A and B are shown apart, each in its own frame.
Chain A
Amino acid sequence: MTEFFADLVLILNSTFRTSAPLILAAFAGLFSERAGVVDIGLEGKMLFGAFAAGAAAATLGSPWAGLLAAMLASTVLALVHGFVVISQRGNQIVSGMAINIIAAGLAPTLANTWYHKGGQTPFLVDENRFAAITLPGADAVAEVPVIGALYADLLSGHHVITYLTIPLVIVLALVMYRTRFGLRLRAVGENPAAVDTAGLSVEGLRYQAVMITGLLCGAAGAALSTGLGNGFIRDMSAGQGYLALAALIFGRWRPFTTLGACLLFGFVSALQGRLQGVDLPVLGTIPTQFTMMLPYVLTVVILAGFAGQMVPPKASGVPYEKDH
C-alpha cells in the first residue's frame, strides 16, 4: 500500500511537471479558436519558442530573457498566421501547417548557423535555466507520513513556469468569461457579423486573440527548453502542440474541461513510463510498444466515443468578410 501511494505521488508529480507546457499550449489554442481562428500551428510556435528561449538564455545568460524571447518569437509567428488568415482570408489549416513546417526547419537551421552544434543550442548552465524550486519547509515535513510526501514530493520541486501556470489558468478563464473583452472574443468566434454590427472591429479582436495565443505558446516552448530541458534540441516539442489541440477539442473549447483533458494526457503519459517493464499477473510483462500507444489510444477512444458531441465555435475556421 505504501509503495502504491509513493508510486501514485511520483506519477502525479510527473503529471504536473509535464502537463504545464501542454496546458499553456491548449489555452493558447483556446483563445485563438474561441475567436474563430483555427490554429494547428501550436506545435510550430511552441517549438520556435523553445528555440528562442534556449538561444536567448544561452546568449544573454538569463532564463527570463529566454522566456521573453520565446514569447516574442512565437508572437511573431502568430502574427504571420494572423496576417494570412485574418487580413488575407487564407485557409487557416494550410497556414497553420506552414507555420509548423517553417518552425521545424528554421529553428535547427538558425541554431546550427549560430552555435554549430548540429541544430541544438548550447547546454544551459544551472543559472540560465528555471531550476526546480523547493517550497519553504518541504525538507522539514518530508518525513511526515502522507502529508509530507504530498507536499515535498508532489507540490514542491517544480520550476517557476509550472507554478505560474496555475494562477494563469484561473486568470485566463476569468478573462474569457467575466470580462467585456472575453465576451467580445467569444462573440467574434460565434457570430462575427453581430460583433461588426455593434461597431467593433472583428479583425482587431481576432488579432488580439492570435497575439495571446503567441504569447502562451512561447511560454510553453520556454518551459520545454529552459525549464524541463536544458537547451533546444530539434523537434523537441515532440507532438505536444497537436496533443494540446486534441485536449482543447476534448475539452469542448472550455477552459476547465480543457485543463482536465491536459492533466489526463499528462497522467497517462506519466503512467505509461511507470508501466514499462512491470510484470503483471497472467499477462506477464507489458511490451513497451503497447504502453507507448496508450496516450494515443486514449485520445482516439475519447474523441470517437465518450466525449459526446463536439461543437466548435460557430465561426471557427471561417474568414470574416464584410458585406458592402
Chain B
Amino acid sequence: MRWVFPAFLMLLMCAVPGRTADFRAVVLYDLGGKFDTSFNEAAYTGAERFKAEFGIDYKDFEPTSETQYEQALKRFARRNYDLIIGVGLGYAVAIRNVAPLYPDRQFNTIDALVDLPNVRNVTFKEHEGSFLVGVAAGLATTSGRVGFIGGMEIPLIKRFEYGYRQGVDYVRSAVPVISNYVGSTAAAWNDPIKAAELARNQYARGVDVIFHAAGPSGLGVIQAAKDRKAYAIGVDSNQNGIAPGRVLTSMLKRVDVAVYNAMRDAYLGQWTPGHQVLGLAEGGVDYAVDANNDDILTEAMRAAMDAARAKIVAGDLVVADVEGGNLGK
C-alpha cells in the first residue's frame, strides 16, 4: 500500500497550478555505483530527500560501463522523463550528444559543463572545501608532512589537490604535501589496493594525514590510515564513520544539495538551464563533524577552519582553483 500516499499527494498536486502532475525524474549514477559511500551516494541522498519531502518516487540507473551512458540517456529521454540527472563528469559527452535530440527534456549535469539550452550544469568549488580540510591537516600533522591521494588524474581532481595545498600552506607554511594519483583511466576509481599501497608508502615516508579524492579507491586510503594508526580525510560524503577516530574529517561536496535542488526546481516548474557554481558561500562544500571525529577534530582546528571559511565567503581570501589561476580578484 506504499503507493497510496504518493498517489494521493499527486492528486492534490494536480489541483495546484505550476506543478507538473506526472513528474518523472531519473538519476543516472556513474561507474562508482549508488552506494559508493562517496560521490554517488551523496547524489542518492539528495534524491531520497526529494522523495521524502514531496512523496514522489524517481528512477535510478547504475551503468556498468561508460558505453552505456548515452544509451541510458536516450532511453529515459524517449520514455518521457522530465528531468534526467547525469551524476559525474563522465556524462559530459553523452549529454552533449543526446540533449539536442530531446529539446523538451531537462538535463542536469553534475561536475560537467555542457552549454545547451536544455541543460543545467552544477559544478562545485572543490578547491574551497579542500582548502578548509587542508587547514585541518596542517594543524593536525605532528610530523610536519601531509599527503594527498587522487583517483584519476584529471583537472577536476587537481582542483582538490590545489585547494588542499593552499589550505595547508595557509596555516603552516613549509609543510610539504606529497601527492599521488591512483591512475589515469576510469579504473582508478575502483582500485582500493593500489590506493592503499600508495597511502602506506606515504605514511612510511613520514606523512601522518592524507586527504583522498579517489572515490571508492579512497576506502583503501582509510584502511591504510587505520592500519598505521594515522589520519585520513574523507571526501564527497561524510566518511568519518568508516574508521571512527581515524578519519580526521570529510570534505563534503554537497552533490545531494545539487540533486535535490534540481528535482525540486523541475517539479515546481522553476528549473532553469545554465551554470550554477556551488562554493562555500552557497553551502555547496563543507567539512563534516559528527560523533566519530568529535574528539580528534580539535576546537582549534574547527575555529581555524571557520575563520578561513568566513574570509573566503566574504571574499577576503581567494582560493585558486588551478595552479597559478584565479588568484587576486
Q: Please report A residues at the B interface, Cβ cutoff 8 Å.
A: 10, 13-14, 17-18, 105, 108, 116-120, 123, 126, 131-132, 153, 224, 228-231, 233-236, 238-239, 269-270, 273-274, 276-277, 288-289, 292
Q: Is the CB of A118 within 8 A of B34?
A: yes
> Chain B contact residues (Cβ within 8 angstroms of A): what range?
35 or more
Compute how far the CA of A126 lies from the CA of B37 in the bound complex, rounded to whole angstroms: 19
Q: Please report B residues at the A interface, Cβ cutoff 8 Å.
A: 32-37, 40-41, 62, 64, 153, 178-181, 183-184, 187, 190-194, 196-198, 200-201, 204-205, 216, 219-220, 223, 226-227, 242
Compute how far the CA of A280 lies from the CA of B62 in the bound complex, rounded to whole angstroms: 43
List chain A residues, Cβ under 8 A from B190: 233-236, 238
List chain A residues, Cβ under 8 A from B223: 229-230
Q: Is the CB of A229 within 8 A of B220?
A: yes
Q: Is the CB of A233 within 8 A of B201?
A: no
Compute how far the CA of A230 lies from the CA of B35 in the bound complex, rounded to whole angstroms: 16
Q: Is the CB of B35 within 8 A of A276?
A: no
Q: Is the CB of B62 within 8 A of A228?
A: no
Compute how far the CA of A229 lies from the CA of B35 in the bound complex, rounded to whole angstroms: 18
List chain A residues, Cβ under 8 A from B36: 118, 120
Q: Is the CB of A233 within 8 A of B192?
A: yes
Contacts A229-B196, A277-B179, A288-B153: A14 and B201 contacting too (C-beta < 8 A)? yes
Q: Is the CB of B181 within 8 A of A288?
A: yes
Compute how far the CA of A228 lies from the CA of B193 in the bound complex, rounded to whole angstroms: 6
Return the 4 tightest CB-CB contacts between A and B, nearest first.
A118-B35, A118-B33, A118-B34, A117-B35
Q: Is the CB of B193 within 8 A of A224?
A: yes
| Minimum C-beta distance from A8 to chain B (A) | 12
Compute how far the CA of A120 lies from the CA of B153 in the bound complex, rounded to whole angstroms: 24
Compute how far the CA of A229 lies from the CA of B222 in the bound complex, rounded to whole angstroms: 10
Q: Is the CB of A116 within 8 A of B35?
A: yes
Q: Name the CB-closest residue of B to A21.
A: B193
Contacts A229-B196, A273-B197: A238 and B180 contacting too (C-beta < 8 A)? no
Compute how far the CA of A50 lies from the CA of B141 in the bound complex, rounded to whole angstroms: 35
Pick the contact of B33: A18, A120, A231 (CB < 8 A): A120
Q: Is the CB of B197 within 8 A of A236?
A: no
Q: Name the CB-closest residue of B to A235.
A: B190
Pick the contact of B205: A10, A126, A231, A238 (CB < 8 A): A10
